Structures are given as C-alpha cells and as structure tokens.
Amino acid sequence: MGTPVYAFAPGVVKLFGEHAVVYGRPALAAAVSLGIHVEASRHPGDHVEIVPSGTHAEIGRVLLREGSMAAEPDAPSLRAAFRYVAHAVEVASREFGVRGGVRLAIRSDLPQGVGLATSAAVTAATLLALLGVAGHEPSREELARLTYRVEREVQGIASPMDSTVTCMGGTILIEPSGWTRARVGDMRLVLAIVPRTATTGDLVRRVRGLLEAHGDAVERVLDAIGAIVREAVRRVEEGDLEGVGRLMYMNHWLLSALGVGDGRADALVRSLGEAAYGAKISGAGGGGTVVILPRDVGAVMAIARALGFNAVEVDVDLQGARLM
C-alpha cells in the first residue's frame, strides 16, 4: 500500500486591499497557522476516495472514477464540499497522469466560508498530497499555478491572491504585475468569525454595481484603499504597529463605503478601544472574518466573545503549503 503522504496548506487572511485588488490595486495578505491537512494513501481499486477526517468524519464520502463523482450519502452538500478536491484530482490526472487507487483523508482547522481561503488551501494540500503519492513534488510556483487554475475553473472568476499566499506562506503583496514578499517580524493576530450573510460572488457583484453607478466616486475609494496598502507595507516592515492599526481602521470603513460592511463587524471594531491597535473586516465582507491586531490578546478575545464572535489567535505561517 505504500507510506501515506501528509500535506498541509495554510488559510489566508486579507490584511489590506480586498475588493480593490479586483480592480488592479495592490493587496496585502498573510498565511495563518490554521489550515487544511490532507493524508493521501494508496488504496485498492481504481477510484479516488475522499473522506473527511477529524470532527466531520461521520458526514460521508465521495468516490471519483473516470471523471464521475458519487457521494455517499448522495447529498448535494457533500458534493459541493468536495468540488475543489474533485477538480484538483482531475487536474492531477490530466497534467501528471495520476491515476485512482488513492484515498484522501481531509481535515480542516479553518472555519469555512468566512474568507479564510479554505478553497485554495484544500486545493493546494490535495494537489501536493496526491502528487506526493505519485512520486512527484511540484515546485511552489508550479503548485501555485495549478491551485489558481483549479480555483478559476471551479469559480469562474478568482484573483490569484489566495492561491499565491497559501502556496508561498508569509505576508505577501499582490499587484497586477505579480507578487512580492513583505518582510514582517512576528505578528500575532486575532480572527473573529461571524456567519456571512452573502457569498463572495454576491459581494464582488455588489461592488461592481456601485462602480457602474458611481464610477468616479468609487474609483477614488479604490485609489484610497490602494494608497493605504502601499503605506501599510512600509509600516508593517518597520514594525510600526500603531500605524498599521490606524490604516486597518481606515481600510475597514472604506469597505463600508463600498457597501460590503456588516453591522456586527462594525460593532466589534468600535468596541475594541485600547485592547487593539486596529481591526478590519477581512475578505469579501458581509460578516465573515474580522482581523484584529491585538495590543492585549486576552482583552480582545473577551470583547469578541462577549459580542457573540467565535475568536481564535493565530500566527503568520511562514512556510506555505508543504509535505509534513
């Protein structure tokens, strides 16, 4: 049966510039210490078996054989949960001739659907583990290219932000011309999570509608976000947490100006006071994740929880997707 191969890919938090990045402005995002774990092992038969492990172990399994997908139980939610994995399997088969007879056990320590790049992370970890059992270890660049391709083919539209950051790790500046690493020391963050009221696609369309209705005004908001991102990179590299925090608050309220704010996130941002340097909605908005740069972690966690948020403390993951 061969030895199992374990891969990990980190989640991604958007520190600055989401939405504006869709319109050619820069964005800054970081890989975090929570992510997706995939264990791949050889398995009898000619199919790929996908099973959730950890706390979701009982929900069922998905079988892939020659391009067709069967879910047991046959629940649409199970098929939807694994559509990125299924497409990653197809790409690995098309590009590298990886064939069935493989079992993929997948575990997540990321909350799903709240803008932490679970889809990019599960894609990267699946590709890495699957290619690993076939004896191929892609370069980071190759993995990022494949991950982006799977995301784009499943979603129709995606920026390369999540796929680049989950594969490369660290804190990364995304620009239309490509990506560069920001030189950041230790940075602890608190992520506060609330259920989303809209999907990424809905929120991206909402901003596009506003841009179509008020082109000049919205372009200026996007430019202001771009200026915040460029200054934030400098402040982050200088370790000026006070400055970074102020810029986070500015970016937060500009996301509200773009119509993707959320009352619950605003209440948290207003309540942090001296406990934090700064905070902002992270990702597409409409709830989801609020990223907080804490001055006092314990106080931030207590405030977030008192307001009904699930809160976790994370570090920046410096290595990106990897075999373990």
Catalytic residue numbers read 162
270 CB-contact burial (10 Å; exposed 0-12 / middle 13-18 / buried 19+): exposed
* Smallest separation (angstroms) from ligand PMV to the CB of 283: 3
Contacts of 35 by beta carbon, 8 Å cutoff, 6+ apart: 8, 9, 10, 11, 108, 109, 110, 121, 125, 166, 317
Q: What does the alpha-carbon distance between residue 295 and residue 81 come to, in Å, rounded to a whole number?
A: 37
The values of phi and psi at residue 277, to 5°, are: -75, -35
Question: Residue 47 or 196: which CB sits closer to ligand PMV?
Answer: 196
* Smallest separation (angstroms) from ligand PMV to the CB of 319: 21
Question: Residue 126 or 159: which CB sits closer to ligand PMV?
Answer: 159
* Smallest separation (angstroms) from ligand PMV to the CB of 25: 10
Question: Residue 18 or 39: which CB sits closer to ligand PMV?
Answer: 18
Question: Residue 131 or 225: which CB sits closer to ligand PMV?
Answer: 225
* Smallest separation (angstroms) from ligand PMV to the CB of 230: 17
Give the residues lining the site for ligand PMV (CB under 6 A).
18-19, 21-22, 115, 117, 158-159, 161, 200, 204, 283-284, 288
Question: Residue 23 or 96: which CB sits closer to ligand PMV?
Answer: 23
* Smallest separation (angstroms) from ligand PMV to the CB of 121: 11
Q: What are the CA-CA distances from residue 130 to residues 91, 126, 156, 170 (Å)?
A: 11, 6, 24, 24
- Cβ atoms 9, 126 nearer than 8 A: no
